Structure 1
């Protein structure tokens, strides 16, 4: 919002002040409607307990084999993120994964990082799996060039399947020297975790009043008593470097009691509505006479699900909507349009085209694909991939319209989408799902740093 405000101020300073009506018209309301509708459907879907049940099933199918369980969890996360979105998938999967690791006495940090990597990969497969894909499919100019939900998903899913075939053995190779089991007994691990959580709670209290000072002192005393207990526990276990693997069957039984499908009837309704909405996404390009955009389809599906689910308290659903994300997108559209009016986009296009024209004509298409793919990957790993994708769409459109280059548009779009989505795995700030997962893990006392994720 601050960036869009500065861009509008710059436009005013150069004498090109837009009217309020023009600024509102810059916002792509179809994209916002698509996100809003999907958020409502996912909020109702999360009430069924289906995601927790899937995590327990991954543990059950693995039969106590840790790496099999990790791969199953990662594949589940990749599949769900393709049809929901990667941010929502991590919001739902992170807490239950942490609980799974606590029961099995595993190091949650490595499993969470693996899950978020596969979430970003799976999110690249469909037009609703990752916010950059939503921006691409909802763009009016790209839609006029034949970029639709069905074609996008068909091309991207093939590439993502190839990536998964490489990513699964690579993950195992990457962590083969990492012991995901906690060497200390689970009682000591939980005690360390409890001390960390109480310390975080004490640090967040600013003693502005006598009551807050009293609460902070009580928390500090609690931490000191737990540290004393930990010291005594470590003396008892100082000669015990490892313990027997926990009984996985007993662990699964405990998890199944806690995490079950709470409403099977509601689950059936959610599956029916979401499957219908995705089917309409796929079929709409084949019926050009029916003018039903992606945003309207998502909104109608959300309303339909609210009616069938008989939601009594709609405010609970509204509280689960990521309003900050919707405001971010709206401000982003204003910012990008203002930058286009300031001729910044045209400058990027001219420099990119000049670089491609240096190459012999027979190699220009290959160079353009590699350039778009790797620039998208590297930049998306350093900045959020959403604003970068929004900036690059007019760039690749201009490149395809350049008669001297004669580059086909669709392969450039696939390269941009793959680079932006997969590049989000480069650093902790590369994708919104990374930040969401790290934030939830931090609140549970299992946070990981920028450097740990980067490694």
Structure 2
């Protein structure tokens, strides 16, 4: 919002101040409607307990073995984030993953980092899995060039499947020397965690009254008692590093009681509506005559599910909508249009075109794909991939319309999408899902630092982007797709 306000102030200073109605027209309401509709669908979906059930099922299929469980969890997270927003997927998956790790006496941080990496990879597979993809398929100029929901999803899905196949062995290689198990017994680890949580709770209380001071003193006394118990246990502690959970069957029974599908009827309704909405997304690509944009399809699907689910308290569902994200997108569209009016985007396009023109004509497309892919990946590692994608779309459109450059738009857009989505794994601030996961983990006492994420995320980003680039070059240059 501050950025869009600054851009509007710059326009006013050069004597080109837009009216309020013009600024409102700059907002792409179809993208906002698509995001809002999907958020409502996911908010109702979360009421069924489906995400908890998936995590417990992964533990059951792995039969208490650690690596099979991590791989199954990552695969489930990748599949879910392809059809649901990856931020929401991590919000729902993180707490139950932490509980599973506590049962197995694992360090949850390594498992969560792996999970969020695969969430970002899976989100690249479809047009609704990651916000940059939503921006791309909602752009009217790109629609005219044949980049719709079906063509985008079909091409990206194939590439992401290839990336996933190579990512699992590489993840195993990265974790080769990692100590996934806690060095201490699960009882001591849980006691340390309990002490940390009680201390944080006590520190949050501001002793403004006598009652609050008394509560804070009681909590601190509890912390001191627990610390005494911890010291006693450490004296009698014998190191036991388990390599496999021997009591996995009894653990499953305990977990299934707490984490199960709470409403099967609602789950059937949610899956049915979501399937119809995704089917309509594809149908809209093949039959434009139905006159329903992606945003309208998502909103109508959300309204249909609200009626079917018989939601009594609509405010609870509205509280789960990420209003800050919707406001962010609205301000972003104003900022991008204002930058276009200031001709900054045209300048970036001209400089990029000059760089590509310096390359021999028969090699231009190859160089352009590699350049867009890696610039997108590295930029998305350092800044959020949403504003970067919004900035680059008009640049690439201008580039494709330059008669001297003579490049097709489709390969450039797919390179942008692949780089922006996979590049989000480079650092902790590269994607919204990373920040959300780290925040929830911190609340549970298992926060991980920027460098801890970087040591695993950046090598994964380099590897996945290399595979994605090879896929783009093989299909576009080798097979002549999307030219």
Q: Same fold (TM over 0.5)?
A: yes
Question: Offset at 1:216?
Answer: 3.2
Contact 2:183 2:239 in 1 (8 A): no
Answering whether residue 79 of structure 2 is matched by residue 79 of structure 1, we say yes
Unmatched segments (≥5 aa) in structure 2: 456-483
**Correspondence for 1:422:** 422
Question: Offset at 1:146?
Answer: 1.1
**Correspondence for 1:131:** 131
Query: What does the per-residue CA deviation read over 1:79-129, in whole Å, with 9 as the maximum and x for residues that have no partner?
Result: 000000110110111111111111121110000000000000000000000
Q: Please give the residue correspondences for 1:274-313 in structure 2 after superposition, counting only pairs within 5 Å.
A: 274-313=274-313
**Correspondence for 2:104:** 104
Question: Offset at 1:240?
Answer: 2.8
CA distance in 2 between counterparts of 1:331 and 1:400 reads: 27
CA distance in 1 between counterparts of 2:199 and 2:133 reads: 40
Question: Offset at 1:11?
Answer: 1.1
- Normalized against structure 2, the TM-score is what? 0.92
**Correspondence for 2:448:** 448
CA distance in 2 between counterparts of 1:206 and 1:345 reads: 49
Q: Please give the residue correspondences for 1:10-409 in structure 2 after superposition, counting only pairs within 5 Å.
A: 10-237=10-237, 239-242=238-241, 245-409=245-409
Contact 1:59 1:69 in 2 (8 A): yes
Contact 1:104 1:246 in 2 (8 A): no
CA distance in 1 between counterparts of 2:206 and 2:406 reads: 62
Contact 1:184 1:243 in 2 (8 A): no
CA distance in 2 between counterparts of 1:337 and 1:214 reads: 56
Contact 1:104 1:251 in 2 (8 A): no
CA distance in 2 between counterparts of 1:252 and 1:187 reads: 19
Contact 1:380 1:388 in 2 (8 A): yes
Question: Offset at 1:229?
Answer: 1.4
Question: Offset at 1:154?
Answer: 0.4
Unmatched segments (≥5 aa) in structure 1: none
CA distance in 2 between counterparts of 1:290 and 1:83 reads: 22
Contact 1:185 1:243 in 2 (8 A): no
CA distance in 1 between counterparts of 2:5 and 2:124 reads: 31
Number of residue pairs aligned between Structure 1 and Structure 2: 454
RMSD over aligned CA atoms reads 1.2
Query: What does the per-residue CA deviation read over 1:401-425, in whole Å, with 9 as the maximum and x for residues that have no partner?
Result: 1111111111111100000000000
Q: Which runs of structure 1 show a deviation greater than 6 angstroms over 4 or more consecutive aligned residues?
A: none
- Normalized against structure 1, the TM-score is what? 0.98
Contact 2:181 2:241 in 1 (8 A): no
CA distance in 2 between counterparts of 1:351 and 1:201 reads: 54
Contact 1:183 1:243 in 2 (8 A): no
Query: What does the per-residue CA deviation read over 1:335-362, in whole Å, with 9 as the maximum and x for residues that have no partner?
Result: 1111111111011111111111111111
Q: Secondary structure at the match of 1:167?
A: helix
